[in-house]
Amino acid sequence: MSIVSTKEMLLDAKKRKYAVPAFNIHNLETVQVVVEAAAELYSPIILAATPSTVKYAGPDYLLAIANVATARYNIPIALHLDHSEDIDYIKQCIDLGYKSVMIDASHDPFEENIRKVSEVVDYAHRFGVTVEAELGRLGGQEDDLVVDEKNSIFTDPEKAVEFVEITNIDSLAVAIGTAHGLYKDKPKLDFDRLERINQLIDIPLVLHGASGIPDKDVRRSIELGITKVNIATELKIPFSNAVKQFFNEHPEESDPRKYLTPGKDAMKKVTIEKIKLCGSDGKAL
């Protein structure tokens, strides 16, 4: 088995009313963690990599690691280029073998967003690659993309219909009150807006900025149509905290195999919790 697109797994999630977790990964260790957890729970999984992660690890290295994971475990695994604003770079990753991409032109005017997304869709669909796009803008910081809270914009349900029909995207990331990174205040999600969007369009919906959202709100979002839940910060913090604690207790240690293992263990615990929260355990096709 090799890496797959997100198309079939998200359509199945939509049909059976669960969500596939998309975990932000950065290197060999973080890929190992989320894939091992998913395999233990027999869950489909999405390895989400931001443009800076792909450039840091190397797009070919990252793809090779993902392909080794798919050969080892009998579960659907997608490698997803997340939040890329660079159309040429997206095409390069598609040419290399990436099967799932996100073009983020949400900061552009509506018509320009459509134009950029349509260009990526036209190219990606020739190779069986799925495309995610975003309408509306989430606050917070994702990679190098920073949006002040005052500049965040909720997704307009009627505009979403037009956007999906014109672009022919495979999944839509919606802005309903979540944000990237850590929340300063308790997030308040617009469930009525999400329900309306789900009623009007028929493609899988994506929830970005899920780290820090109460479990009950994540479950409610899934009930109302969310089929992919993005998780990043809630994985990075326990990983880094465990490594810091290890060095506090063993300041003389220099072996990466020893100081990275506690980080992996801490991250795996959260990964398992999130898979169960999304209801994707036991859903690998």
Name the DSSP letter for residue 154.
Answer: P
Residue of 12, 82, 143, 217 marked active site = 82
Is 209 one of the annotated binding-site residues? yes
Name the DSSP letter for residue 199.
Answer: H
Is 242 one of the annotated binding-site residues? no
Is 208 one of the annotated binding-site residues? yes
| Residue 175 and residue 197 in contact, taking contact as beta carbons nearer than 8 Å | no
Is 104 one of the annotated binding-site residues? yes
Let me know if 82 is a catalytic residue.
yes
Give the Cα-Cα-Cα angle 81, 32, 174 (nearest 5 degrees): 35
Backbone φ/ψ region at 142: left (φ over 0), alpha (ψ -120 to 50), beta: beta
Is 50 one of the annotated binding-site residues? no
Q: Which residues contact 233 (CB under 8 A, 6 or more apart)?
A: 180, 181, 182, 211, 212
Is 275 one of the annotated binding-site residues? no
Is 180 one of the annotated binding-site residues? yes
Is 284 one of the annotated binding-site residues? no
Name the DSSP letter for residue 125.
Answer: G
Instruction: Determine the distance from the C-alpha atom of residue 38 to the mean position of all C-alpha atoms in its chain, rounded to a whole number.
Output: 15
Is 227 one of the annotated binding-site residues? no
The tokens for 214 are 């109460």
| Residues of the binding site for Zn(2+) | 83, 104, 134, 180, 208
| Residues of the binding site | 83, 104, 134, 180-181, 208-211, 230-233
| Residues of the binding site for dihydroxyacetone phosphate | 181, 209-211, 230-233
What residues are labeled active site? 82
